[in-house]
Amino acid sequence: MSLIIIKQTSWFWKGFLNSYTQIFFSDNKVFAAILIPVTFVDFFAGLFGLISVLITNSAAWLIGLSRYNIQKGYYGFNSLLVGLGIGIYYEPGLVLLFLVFIAAVFTLFISVTLEGVIGKYYLPHLSLPFVFGLWMLMLSAREFDALALNERWIYTLNDLYIFGGQSLVTVYEWWNRLSIPSPMRSYFLSLGAILFQFSVLSGVLVAAGLLIYSRIAFSLSLLGFYGAWLFYTIIGAEISEVGYSYVGFNYILTAIALGGFFIIPNIYSYLWVLLVVPMVAIVAISLGTVLGIFYLPVYALPFNIVVLIFLYVLQFRINHKSRLYTYFVQRNSPERNLYSFINFRERFAEHTKIPLKLPFYGEWTVTQGHNGEYTHKNDWRYAWDFEITDEEGKTFKNEGDYTEDYFCFNKCVTAPADGVIEDVVNDIDDNIIGEKNLEQNWGNTVIMKHSEHFYTKLSHFKKGSIQVRKGDRVREGDAIGLCGNSGNSPYPHLHFQVQTTPYIGSKTLKHAISNYFKRDNGLKELVEVGIPEKDQKVSNIQINTSLKEVFHYVPGMIMKFEVTGLKQKSACFEVKIDNNLNRYIECRESGSKAYFDTAPAMIHFVHFEGDRSSLLYYYYLSAYKISFGFEKGQTLNDTYPIHLIYHPGRIFLQDFIAPFYRYLKGSYQLNYPQKNGMIASSELNLNGTIQKQRFGHITHKMTFQFVVDGKGLKKFDFSNDHVQIQAICVQ
Amino acid sequence: MEKKVFERPVIKKLSAGMPAKFGLQVRHEPVTQIDGVPIKTLMEEYGSPLFVYSEKKIRQTYKEACRAFSSRYPNVLFAWSYKTNYLNAVCNVFHQEGAWAEVVSGFEYQKALVNGVSGDQIIFNGPDKSKEELELAVQNRSLIHIDHFDELYDLIEIGENSNIKPKVAIRVNMDTGIYPAWDRFGFNYENGEAWDALHRIMHADNLELLGLHTHIGTYIMGTEPYKIAASKLAELAIGLSSKFDHQLQYIDIGGGFASKNTLKGVYYPGTDTAPSFEDYADAITSVLIKANFRHNKLPLLILETGRALIDDAGYLAGTVIATKRLANGQRATILDAGVNLLFTSFWYDHDIRPAKPMSDQTEETAFFGPLCMNIDVIRKNMMYPLLKKGDPYVIQRVGAYNNTQWLQFITLRPNVVMIDEKGETHLIRKKETLQTLNKMESVPDHLKI
């Protein structure tokens, strides 16, 4: 019973922990375990902070706000800061407790409001609610007679003696005698100040937590802090250890936010940090002057202003000249963001939203590609001409005097994707070989609409061969007509282009073709997404239905395994879909999740979270990329994000330099059987290897194997230096 | 300067260049080399007569056939018909190109396995499959094309006693408008026998019905019968899909495509009249694509054509043994290859070519083989230059059926070579010797002399 309650309320406790770590954009539990005691260095501050978090998250739940946001700590962390602030400034008491309650809920309201108002601009609310919330309270509290200012820590030694006796006082004195250089002391004070704990000890602990959470965030905190220090020195601003510490965390937080969290960390983001930090300094100094009139501290306002402005500016970019990239999916750590981003770019940079197939059966040759030498120029440069050639490269038999001699003439032309027929011309005569019809340049033509501003055009059909009419719905692969020789076509060929407007003669749009085989010389090679080039022989892949049956995961699908070689003796995978339409496989035993992405003829795993000793993790590694269509003996290659193939604890050094250079690599290779799998029920054996590489040298090798028959997956094996797993599929 | 060829003088009726009712003068262009290898060199090294295969030609023809079908239909597979030519080297060229194996006996089945074809890529056809052979085929997950009910019952029984479901298809015979309709293989379409068999299979829990097969005949000189065959099979497949919600994976249209040889008694030469792969492909695929198969559920199209794929790549080179005059005055030439090696000469007018340049002087000639049997006639009557003893000749388009149907009758079977794509010659079957035959015989002790 109690277990169920813990399970059901686990999201609440996650929200509690994340409310602490979210201050540093983290969801690291170890970090939380460090931060929570740090807030209790001043006991009452910590207590009111904690109460504040609990009140906020409960209120959010009662109001009916998104459980996901609560769990992420998005609402809790601002209230936490307000609670800490109140706790540190005022004497504890029932009145204060009541005030904390009000302040926490009010801060929640500000958070939600800002989420709505600036969320529209895809901007995070950061710690603005905290700044506003605490200001309001401080300004108004001056009128509250019932509140008394906190007098703790004014007589530090007395307090320490009460708290921990003589020994604590001795430790404190020893600590103070430690000759920590002023800049370093200031750095730690700044870190502590984020949690209203103005002590070096708190700062050291937070720094340690930050290092555990993220090496990149840690190095950025140094870069931001000392970058600003340098700026102060250059412009001759006054640096007092204590005064600087009160604003110093602004530089740290700005550096982490812009250098590595909201922007993928790289050399350019680091350089921008150096440029932006002085801006924060100027904002901090100028605001300090204005707010000083009201006896208000600037808190984290400079950080908020500059980060939001910077992120907003980035949204108006029309190209990627700046080399600053924002994340696709926030993985809550600069390292994870970086590794995922790089991997994503390697794998999917060229993927298109609407996958186009080649519009024919069998193997055709590109006789004019993009920017071709005959007609594919200027506005019409992104087009292809296709013909069929024999082994000697000839496109016709006999003398080639008649259209019928040409291999491509009279061959079926198919729809490249699902769509609606937008326009049809079907009554232009086929030319005699060698003649062109420049009056009706495009000849018999079909234009299809696949999506808004996305049309394809196929031209030079045989007269009267088009079987579709305007308004017809067609599906990918449906026969549309026959290749002919009408229009500007001296010999039969098929013209294919993508365009944004529905007119015959519209200018072309650069767009790739998905999942096809290319053959330059000799063997066929699978192209996931690419632009066929001149003289390449290209053909569509044919989907093997038994592979598709196994690896095309449909939400609701369940896979059960009997496992040997692992702690878990059985495993049950269920395919699920979340609110953001991300699809994933969940392991019922461990709760681990492996996220995937389905292309029409291919499956890619894109992310894994959870237990790395579960069967699902090994499955994720092995079924990382699988094409449903294959040629015999074909291989597929791919790479893993570093943090998902290496143990996160073992890449400490790599993390520090990851934004600039990555010496670790995880690569995937899948080998298809040496036979063509034309009949779905024949048994197929897919095996492959996974390699970890350091500076290009292989350090670890793993192998895996899938056995598939017509009924589904039979068996999955995995082995590396430590484990030898065999999972028999029982359902 | 090379010495001019001497030809014996003949007396011939003058024809003043006007076409006779038998057409213009026939010129037999000499074939002096195959893929750049002179016939003379080949025979010096490997003897006479000699079968020669051109690997280049096999691959070329295969690709041509593939292109014709795959550019019209998304999903095409060829299965090499072993009975047409089961020389291992020839089979392996096809397997390398991607063809599966189509066999019609336990012996051929074993041969395919030995050639390295995986069991699930062998199609087992034919009326003669023993229970043991069927069991092996089931174990190997081969595709079994059922020919008759007795075989179907055998398979049901095997299925019951095995943990592997036999993968089956039925062979369907039908009226496609050609004569004679082959109704002795498989189950008849028109009288409903095919549906009976399908019902029986669908209700047998332990059989996996994968496809439908037909083979409408041999040497079909038109494409219309294939349209009819394809539409009848498609109708069965769609019927199964609507009645049992069972999607068939393939339709096997068999073979029967004509090669470019000229049949006996046909006036126009085969090179001009036989449909091309393009013609056959167009007929078959256009019907299947227009049939009401569900979207993206077009069945795999399997083709088992043998003759049209291999005939052109086989040559028979030999030497003239003697010339003589028959009693009626007709010239006769005796070749060292006869019906023992050219089984196909019973139905083809084979294209015999001189293997060295000859003059244009021709005479009505009969070509006989070396056998001491009256039936050993290759060509009864041909206007032909005057070959003499020792002259080399080449018979073209002999790749199909001859090396499987040849006889060890009176003489022994000769060498078979293959010229690879680089022009290198490989011996792919050694000529038989007395030991080859004697090895298999035994003489009881009391008969030993």
Strands B167-173 and B187-188: parallel
**Could you read off the pLDDT of B82-116 as tens digits, one per residue?**
999 999 999 999 999 999 999 999 999 999 999 99
- Per-residue CA distances from A430 to A400, B263, B424 (Å): 15, 38, 46
Partners of B113 on chain A (C-beta within 8 Å) are none
**Pairing relation of β-strands A454-461 and A444-451?**
antiparallel
Q: From the CA of B282, how many Å to the nearest CA of chain A? A: 9
| Cβ contact, residue pair A679, B63, below 8 Å | no
A643 domain-assigned: yes
Are A602 and A505 in a shared domain? no
Do A469 and A571 lie in one domain? The reply is no
Residues with Cβ < 8 Å from A196, sequence gap 6 or more?
A: A39, A42, A45, A81, A84, A85, A87, A88
pLDDT digits 0-9 by tens, A304-353 = 999 999 999 999 998 888 889 888 778 889 999 999 999 998 888 878 88
- CA nearest to A673 within chain B: B118
CB A106 within 8 A of CB A261: no
Asked if the structure places residue A560 within a domain, the reply is yes
How far A320 CA sits from the closest chain B CA (Å)?
Answer: 40
pLDDT at A11: 85
Q: Is it the case that residue B28 has pLDDT exceeding 90?
A: no
The 10s digit of each residue's pLDDT in A439-492 is 888 999 999 999 999 999 999 999 999 999 999 999 998 889 999 999 999 999
Number of domains forming the structure of chain A: 3
Q: How far apart are CA B421 and CA B57, in angstroms?
A: 9
- Tell whether the model's pLDDT for residue A555 goes beyond 80: yes
The per-residue pLDDT for range A20-42, each reduced to its tens digit, is 999 999 988 999 999 999 998 88
Pairwise CA distance, residues A436 & A434, whole Å? 7
User: Is A145 within the bounds of a domain?
Assistant: yes
Average pLDDT of the residues of chain B: 92
Residue A218 lies in a domain: no
Contacts 24+ apart (CB under 8 A), A112-120: A112/A65, A112/A75, A115/A69, A115/A74, A118/A308
Same domain, A618 and A692: yes
CB pair distance less than 8 Å for B98 and A632? yes
For residue A415, the domain's CATH number is 2.70.70.10
Report yes or no: A363 at the B interface, CB cutoff 8 Å. Answer: yes
Arithmetic mean of pLDDT, A66-77: 91
Please name the helix (run of DSSP H) or strand (run of DSSP E) that holds residue A78, with its range, or none: helix A76-89
Specify if A167 maps to a domain: yes
Which residues in chain A are closer than 8 Å to B143, comparing Cβ atoms? Answer: 679
Q: Which of A390, A412, A632 sits opposite B67 (nearest CB)?
A: A390
Is B141 within 8 Å of A683 when comparing Cβ atoms? yes
Tokens 């954009």 belong to A25
Phi, psi dihedrals of residue A510, rounded to the nearest 5°:
-75, 125
**Shared domain check, A683 and A596:** yes
User: Do A483 and A592 reside in the same domain of the chain?
Assistant: no
Note the pLDDT of residue B269. Answer: 84
Q: Which two tokens stand for residue A437?
A: 């019809």
- Residue A391 forms contact with B (CB below 8 Å): yes
pLDDT surpasses 90 at B361: no
Instruction: Please indicate whether, in this complex, the C-beta atoms of A679 and B75 are within 8 angstroms of each other.
Output: no
Contact (CB<8Å) B74/A679: no
A555 touches B: beta carbon within 8 Å: no
What size, in residues, is chain B?
A: 449
Give the best residue of B58, B120, B213 to mutate against chain A (max A CB count within 10 A).
Answer: B120
Which of A295-299, B134-138, B252-256 comes out lowest in average pLDDT?
A295-299
pLDDT of A1 reads 47
* Identity of the residue in A361, A391, A475 whose CB atom sits nearest the CB atom of B71: A361
For residue A472 the two structure tokens come to 């017809």
Q: Does A632 touch chain B (CB under 8 A)?
A: yes
Q: Are residues A435 and A485 in the same domain?
A: yes
- Nearest CB to A407 within list B67, B143, B208: B67
> pLDDT tier at A396 (50, 70, 90 boundaries)?
very high
- Which residues lie closer than 8 Å to A601 by C-beta, 6 or more apart? A514, A515, A541, A543, A548, A627, A628, A629
Determine, yes or no, domain membership for A280.
no
Query: End of a domain among A180, A213, A246?
Result: A213
Question: Mind listing the pLDDT tens digit for each residue in A610-652?
Answer: 999 999 999 999 999 999 888 888 899 999 999 999 988 789 8
Q: Do residues A602 and A692 share a domain? A: yes
CB contact under 8 A, B118 and A675: yes
Over the Cα atoms of chain A, what is R_g? Answer: 32
Bridge partners for B224 per DSSP: none
CB contacts of A676 in chain B (<8 Å) are 77, 98
Instruction: Name the interface residues of B facing A (CB cutoff 8 Å).
Output: 59-60, 63-64, 67, 69-75, 77, 98, 100, 118, 120-121, 141, 143, 167, 208, 210, 249-250, 282, 289, 295-296, 300
The sign one gets for the Cα dihedral A602, A608, A610, A612 is positive
Neighbours of B405 (CB within 10 A): 14
Q: Per the CB < 8 Å rule, is B63 touching A542?
A: no
Q: Which fold has domain B33-53+312-432?
A: Lyase, Ornithine Decarboxylase; Chain A, domain 1 (2.40.37)
**In sequence order, what DSSP letters do the residues of A32-58 get, joined into one string?**
HHHHHHHHTTSHHHHHHHHHHHHHHHH
A666 and A569 co-located in one domain = yes
Which chain B residues are closer than 8 Å to A402 by Cβ? none
Residue B425: beta bridge partners? Answer: B419
Tens-digit pLDDT profile for residues B410-423? 999 999 999 999 99
A264 interface with B at CB cutoff 8 Å: no
Q: Compute the Cα dihedral for A128, A132, A137, A142 and give only its sign.
A: positive
Residue A364 to residue B71, Cβ atoms within 8 A? yes
Closest by Cα among A171, A59, A170 to A104: A59
- Pick one of 3.40.50.2000, 3.60.15.10, 3.40.1190.20, 3.20.20.10 as the CATH number of B55-311: 3.20.20.10
Q: Which two tokens stand for residue A576?
A: 């699920």
> Which of these three, A193, A213, A233, is where a domain ends?
A213
In angstroms, rounded to a whole number, what is the distance separating the alpha carbons of residues B405 and B16?
Answer: 45
Let me know if residue A40 belongs to a domain.
Answer: yes
- Span between the terminal Cα atoms of chain A, in Å: 31
The SS3 call for residue A185 is helix
For B208, which of A388, A391, A681 is closest by C-beta distance? A681
pLDDT score recorded for residue A536: 92
A75, A182: one domain: yes
With beta carbons less than 8 A apart as the criterion, state whether B223 and B280 touch.
yes
Report whether pLDDT(A182) > 90.
no
What is the pLDDT, as a whole number, of residue B117? 93
The boundaries of the domain holding residue A643 are: 545-729
C-alpha distance from residue B107 to each of B76, B111, B112, B114, B140 (Å): 27, 6, 9, 11, 15
- Contact (CB, 8 A) for A616 and A584: no
Per-domain boundaries in chain B: 33-53+312-432, 55-311
pLDDT in tens, A185-200: 889 989 988 988 888 8
Which residue among A412, A475, A682 sits closest to B141, beta carbon to beta carbon? A682
Do B71 and A411 count as a contact with CB atoms less than 8 A apart?
yes
pLDDT band at B18 (very low <50, low <70, confident <90, very high): low
Tell me: do A551 and A500 sit in the same domain: no
**Plot region of B88 (φ>0 → left; ψ -120 to 50 → alpha; else → beta):** alpha
> Are A463 and A563 part of one and the same domain?
no
Residue A540 lies in a domain: no
What digits encode the pLDDT tens for the residues A405-422? 999 999 999 999 999 999
- DSSP SS3 for A60: helix
* Domain CATH for A26: 1.10.3430.10
Q: Which of A362, A477, A682 sits opposite B296 (nearest CB)?
A: A477
Same domain, A724 and A587: yes
Find chain A residues with C-beta within 8 A of B73's C-beta. Answer: 361-362
Domain boundary among A464, A495, A511: A511
* Contact yes or no for A411 and B64 at CB 8 A: no
Q: Using an 8 Å CB-CB cutoff, list chain B residues near A390.
A: 63-64, 67
C-alpha span between A438 and A488 (Å, rounded): 5
